[in-house]
Amino acid sequence: MKRSRLDYEFYVYIMASISGVLYIGMTNNIFKRVWQHKNDKVDGFSKRYKCHKLVYCEFYQYVYDAINREKQLKNWTRKKKEFLINKNNSNWNDLAMNWYKF
């Protein structure tokens, strides 16, 4: 069965480390991608700085909207990123804390 454009979903997300390092990414499978971050399966920046906590997430229906938003957030200052997180998750809780059984 062919998927329609309405069946796709995309996410822009922010992962944080214990030390406060922020990683911004985009995916079409938020559950898999966050699991990969939490288990250091993503080589590079997020693995090096142990960005294991999902602190922010946005949903998009269209990939181009998600890509543009990811680029926008990556160009923001640290202060502006913190404001966005605080507005939606003031305690910086791990939004994926109960998603998996480890």
**DSSP labels for 27-49?**
ES-HHHHHHHHHTT-STTHHHHT
What CA–CA distance (Å, rounded) separates 75 from 93?
Answer: 24
- Whether the pLDDT of residue 92 is over 60: the answer is yes
Q: Amino acid identity of 86?
A: N
Question: What's this model's pTM, rounded to 2 decimal places?
Answer: 0.91
Among candidate residues 9, 14, 16, 30, the one with its CA nearest the CA of residue 72? 14
**DSSP for residue 7:** G
- Whether the pLDDT of residue 102 is over 60: the answer is no
- Whether the pLDDT of residue 2 is over 90: the answer is no
* Residue labelled with tokens 């998009």: 60
Domains assigned to the chain: 7-88 (3.40.1440.10)
Strands lying side by side in the sheet with 22-27: 22-27, 10-16, 53-60
pLDDT at residue 68, as a whole number: 98
Contacts of 46 (CB under 8 A, 6+ apart): 15, 23, 25, 37
